Amino acid sequence: MNQTAQTDPTGNEPQGRPRAGTDLRTVRSNPDYWYPVAWSRELKAGKTIGTRYAGTPIALVRPEDGGSVFALEDRCAHRQVPLSKGVVNGSAVKCCYHGWAYGRSGRCIDVPYLGKGKLPNGVRTFPCREQSGMIFIFPGDPDKAETTPLPPALAQTANPGYKTRYFGRTVGCHYSFMHENLMDMNHQFMHSKQMGQMKPRFLGQKREAGLVEARYSFARTGGKQPIGEALIFGERRDASEKFQHRDVMTIRTEYPYQTLRIQKGDDDPVMDLWIVYVPQSADELTNRTFGLLSVKRPGVPFVLDLAWPFLVAFTNRIFAEDREIVELEQKAWRELGGDHNVEVFPVINALRDLLVECGLPPAQPDA
Amino acid sequence: MNQTAQTDPTGNEPQGRPRAGTDLRTVRSNPDYWYPVAWSRELKAGKTIGTRYAGTPIALVRPEDGGSVFALEDRCAHRQVPLSKGVVNGSAVKCCYHGWAYGRSGRCIDVPYLGKGKLPNGVRTFPCREQSGMIFIFPGDPDKAETTPLPPALAQTANPGYKTRYFGRTVGCHYSFMHENLMDMNHQFMHSKQMGQMKPRFLGQKREAGLVEARYSFARTGGKQPIGEALIFGERRDASEKFQHRDVMTIRTEYPYQTLRIQKGDDDPVMDLWIVYVPQSADELTNRTFGLLSVKRPGVPFVLDLAWPFLVAFTNRIFAEDREIVELEQKAWRELGGDHNVEVFPVINALRDLLVECGLPPAQPDA
Amino acid sequence: MNQTAQTDPTGNEPQGRPRAGTDLRTVRSNPDYWYPVAWSRELKAGKTIGTRYAGTPIALVRPEDGGSVFALEDRCAHRQVPLSKGVVNGSAVKCCYHGWAYGRSGRCIDVPYLGKGKLPNGVRTFPCREQSGMIFIFPGDPDKAETTPLPPALAQTANPGYKTRYFGRTVGCHYSFMHENLMDMNHQFMHSKQMGQMKPRFLGQKREAGLVEARYSFARTGGKQPIGEALIFGERRDASEKFQHRDVMTIRTEYPYQTLRIQKGDDDPVMDLWIVYVPQSADELTNRTFGLLSVKRPGVPFVLDLAWPFLVAFTNRIFAEDREIVELEQKAWRELGGDHNVEVFPVINALRDLLVECGLPPAQPDA
């Protein structure tokens, strides 16, 4: 592959081009990163739940005794049925079918009808970590887990000056469509029913190893400011000149995560989003979204808390529109048998290059 | 292929034969004809809707200014999402996602965030025509559209002496099953719950270039005349001799359309049906039916209008039985991996030959 | 294949092993046996119903005149639509579509619009027999039907000292999972919510041509005896010593059928189950279960009849758990692309060998 990052700050190039080489929608996500696979609140002490990463079933187990969560391949070594259908006993999980038991190490530690000296092999384990209300696993090479960083604070979850929404859903498309959707703010056109007419101005981009960033400002050209937006900005705005192009929105894909921040001048962001799209099926054409949306609290206490349902409903409507369109993109890809995207926006081409470079090549058909 | 038209007027041949050569259910419909893809009433001014022909998605656009409908391939050149999800502005359609705009010519005439001098390529267009309450496109070679006739009046839609039912539905089978179903009137056996026992007599057939025709008369051998039939014939009939074999039913496939007319003597038809089966999926194993059923008005005004709901209910029951059986034929074809039809009725073999000759050979697997 | 029957009575072997050679889940059931395909009560006189064996559709016809049921391939020779949608006339069945008629021999005996001298070929027939409330067919070589035995009494259906439940359902898995599920009583662990904790003791096994048998006794280690079990044993039992390991449960696969009997001492069984898993789809990855569950009547008359609904509800809950787990096994097989069962229990390995030996090798892809 011969892929060069686009750095033309005008945001324009003469004519769109289909990307040569690998079809981006067949690029597999790189497993050598930490990926959330469940919300912490989903898993009570003494319970197990089943989840997925790119077709691999994963059982998460939270011991009865308050020990940390651990992650096993979610197939009993005996008959491959999900261990997450089983029973947690102390810090071990027993398969629901014939009672084979496994500990944190994945070793089989008991088969009720077999002597202890001749136990069969166990199951695969995954490094596991809990942070910011999510349970993460490291699906790749376990030796890299320790040295692979995961920022200790995601969005502003650790900052009392913010209120955070934890949201997620399963979306029927390759994760790359999600990254493109969020970074290309020209798609504000699609949200005009929710947002009114917003004209984006592209301010520039940054391309570094493992990272692409786009910056925008906006002008309202029609419609009224929605309440949801007023809550985020902490103020009512009309269409007058003084509010035009006043804030900077920075969207960054720092592989494999994505962030979106809105800043008024040099202040702390008024909104800070952290989001990741975790492949579900083996073909990676579905993903589960884990998002943290932190909104800065205004001076008056509890205002944001009282208004929160409006903000939730507003963002849900936006997400529903985004979800519909990326699923339509995926459907077109299936019907056409490949990626026919003709991209004219350089920062999106830079993002596409990044996702190809950081991901894994398509699986071989006979693999 | 070595296929000869059958012209034996007795309607019988010694032993059924499976057809040599091409499997009829894999023959693609010939795109060099006009096909209806929507009802006129489905598309309001200033709106766009999505439809299909044999796997090709089509956006129909009716301009705001009262201009004629036009048809584009229903995939934005940018990200292949349906243009029919977009917004009509004057006589252009804007993609719902990033606002790329296309005119009647299919050219891309605006990308909101790109200079006018460097617009990307547009999308494919289809010749489009509106007639008899339907919107037709010409999916094949556009140069042939002008010289390919479409009769100006279909069924008796232009004749005030008739009332016409416009009906349609999607049926899960290859269009050839539909043609065979209607032309083989021995299948009256299937409708005996609705129609009573009707014994068909085959009167003869005609085979010309692009055309097969079958003629029948009928005798009632049991059951009562249904109200629906009485409405069509404009008279109550018992099972007495004088009504036996009195009328002639003529069924014609004039590729790709089909008609069915019932005549008492030399009068105008009491019923005149025009129907076509438009392939929906790329494998053409589903079709959308567009039918015009014209019934002659009796001498007394409004009688037919008042009784119309009975006629609608009656024909719906007939259609439901036909639909079930052709979908069972398609299911058997799938399970058996091919066409095992053993046809003993010469006119149906002639029809099968016609559909193979006029259609396109099966798509190559690697095409 | 090099498969040896396991006869180690301890029930243990050092380490589980994946089975070499054929994947058991691709072994086709042997058609040279009698298989039930319907309950007698499903088919009234003068009616026909459609059923299946391993992808082959079968029409069962019960003549109007009280003659015995017969079985035809459920595809009209003409257009392959199901004969079971047709009409029974005397002892013939007429296809619903164009009225072609077939007799018990499968010959086409009438085409209403064709001379009698030139009738087309008919359809395949299957030897058919009715017994113990079920309609059986012999899907294999018809010449073997006469000499292939089917025990005249199944379970205790012919014994007035027992009451029999006739039950069945479709389960989404290969029949081999069903045999393994029933024979491996270590899976009592899965039913502990319904049954309380029951510890099985393996007493030994038998391996003969076409037969594998396992014997167990049980001790209650926790929980209360469920009412359903008390009904079967005809007595209330606590967890005291005198009830531990008192009865013998014998589970036998006598290809292709399975039985389970519970005996107190040398008495007649208190429970006698006969069950078979009939493949439905052509890939045999679904089956329809036909089961006869005979329970010995206690001394007091009508007690069992009054309590029957409890027993039905109890067994339904057990079956639901079994069904869920075998379908999860099948799901894992699909996802992993093959059988990864690591079996440590010798009698189950003997059973697996039996099913491979008695079944048919996998169909060739191009067959």
| Largest Cα span, chain A | 80
Q: Looking at chain A, which residue has its C-alpha nearest residue B55?
A: A335
Count CA atoms closer than 13 A to B343's CA, side-chain side.
Answer: 21
How far is B344 from chain C, CA to nearest CA, in Å? 8
Q: Do B329 and C112 touch (CB under 8 A)?
A: no
Q: Please write the tens of the pLDDT for every residue from B39-72.
A: 999 999 999 999 999 999 999 999 998 899 999 9
Percentage helix, strand, coil, to 5, in chain C? 25, 30, 45
Residues in B touching C113 (Cβ below 8 Å): 11-12, 186, 200, 202, 345
**Which of C92, C97, C95, C121 has its CA nearest to residue C108?**
C121
pLDDT above 60 for B16: no
For residue C99, give the nearest of B16, B189, B202 by CB distance.
B189
Does B187 contact C98 at a Cβ distance shorter than 8 Å? yes
* Chain A: residue whose CA lies nearest to B82: A328
Instruction: Answer yes or no: do A96 and C16 touch at CB < 8 A.
Output: no
From the list A85, A94, A120, the residue facing C344 with the nearest CB is A120
In terms of CA atoms, which chain A residue is nearest residue C180?
A79
- Looking at residue A239, its pLDDT comes to 76
* A216/chain B closest Cα distance in angstroms: 13
pLDDT of residue A1: 32
Answer yes or no: do A341 and B79 touch at CB < 8 A.
yes
A256: closest CA of chain C, how far (Å): 26
C187 vs A97, A114, A120: nearest CB: A97
Cβ contact A340–B113 (<8 Å) = no
Query: In whole angstroms, what is the distance from residue A274 CA to residue A292 CA?
Result: 5
Query: What residues in B contact C111, CB-CB < 8 Å?
Result: 344
**What is the per-residue pLDDT for C221?**
86
Contact A365/C at CB under 8 A: no
Per-residue model confidence (pLDDT) at position A266? 78
Q: Each residue of C201-233: b (16+ CB within 10 Å) or e? A: ebeebebeeeebbbbbbbebeeeebbebbbbbb
Determine the average pLDDT of the residues in B353-357.
Answer: 96
Any CB–CB contact under 8 A between A118 and chain C?
yes
Picking from B171, B155, B130, the residue whose alpha carbon sits closest to that of residue B39 is: B130
Q: Which residues pair with C218 in a beta bridge?
A: C200
- Which partners does chain A have (≥3 C-beta pairs < 8 Å)? B, C
In this predicted structure, what is the pLDDT of residue C293?
A: 97
Q: C17, C186, C218: best mutation site toward chain A, by most A Cβ within 10 Å?
A: C186
| B218 in contact with C, Cβ within 8 Å | no
What is the C-alpha separation between B78 and A218, in angstroms, rounded?
Answer: 23
Contact A335 B82 (CB under 8 A): no
Q: Answer yes or no: do A329 and B82 touch at CB < 8 A.
A: no
pLDDT at B26 over 60: yes
The verdict on B360 touching A (C-beta cutoff 8 Å) is no
Predicted confidence band at B366 (pLDDT cuts at 50, 70, 90)? low
Query: Residue A246: pLDDT band by 50, 70, 90 thresholds?
Result: confident
pLDDT number for residue C308: 94
Q: Are strands A162-171 and A287-296 parallel, antiparallel or unpaired?
A: antiparallel
Pick from A12, A200, A328: CB nearest B114 = A12
Tell me which residue of A34, A38, A37 sits closest to A147, measured CA to CA. A34
Q: Report the residue from B75, B112, B114 with minimal CB separation from A332.
A: B75
Q: Which positions in chain B touch A332 (Cβ < 8 Å)?
A: 75, 79-81
Mean pLDDT score, B223-236: 84
pLDDT of C365 higher than 70? no
Torsion, Cα of B136, B141, B145, B147 (10° steps): -150
Cβ contact B117:B277 at 8 Å: no
Which residue among A11, A184, A329 places its CB closest to the CB of B81? A329
Nearest neighbour of B12 by CB, restricted to C55, C114, C282: C114
CB contact under 8 A, B186 and C112: yes
Residue A251 contacts residue A183 (beta carbons within 8 Å) = yes
State the pLDDT at residue B207.
96
Which pLDDT band, with edges at 50, 70 and 90, does C325 fall under? very high
Per-residue pLDDT of A198-245, as tens digits, reads 899 999 999 999 999 999 999 988 888 888 888 888 888 887 888 888
Residue type at position B179: H
Q: Which residues of C touch A59 (CB under 8 A)?
A: none
Which of A11, A189, A336 lies closest to B80 in CB terms?
Answer: A336
Distance from CA of C323 to the nearest CA of B (A): 27
Residue window 166-195, chain C: list those with CB within 8 Å of chain B: none
pLDDT at residue number A210: 95
Subunits with 3+ Cβ pairs within 8 Å of B are: A, C
Q: Which is nearest to C59 in space by CA: C75, C44, C46, C45?
A: C75
Query: Which among B55, B57, B98 has the least Cβ separation from residue A186?
Result: B98
Q: Could you give phi then psi for residue C254, rounded to 5 degrees?
A: -115, 100
Q: Please judge whether C78 and B16 are an interchain contact, meaning their C-beta atoms are less than 8 angstroms apart.
A: yes
**Other Cβ atoms closer than 10 A to C114:** 22
Q: Is B81 on the interface with A (CB under 8 A)?
A: yes
Of residues C353, C355, C360, the one with CA closest to residue C5: C353
H or E segment to which residue A310 belongs: helix A303-336
> pLDDT for C222-271, tens place per residue?
888 888 888 888 888 887 888 888 899 999 999 999 999 999 877 899 99
Lowest mean pLDDT among A6-20, A28-42, A59-73, C292-306: A6-20
pLDDT tens digits, B270-328: 999 999 999 999 999 999 999 999 999 988 888 899 999 999 999 999 999 999 999 99
Lowest mean pLDDT among A269-273, B55-59, B235-239, C324-328: B235-239
Domains in chain B: ranges and CATH: 45-125 (2.102.10.10), 152-358 (3.90.380.10)
- Look up residue B18 and give its two tokens: 């499976």
**ipTM here:** 0.90
Contact B85 A328 (CB under 8 A): yes
Q: Between B7 and B108, name the one with better pLDDT.
A: B108
Q: Do C15 and A115 touch (CB under 8 A)?
A: no
Residue B253 confidence (pLDDT): 98
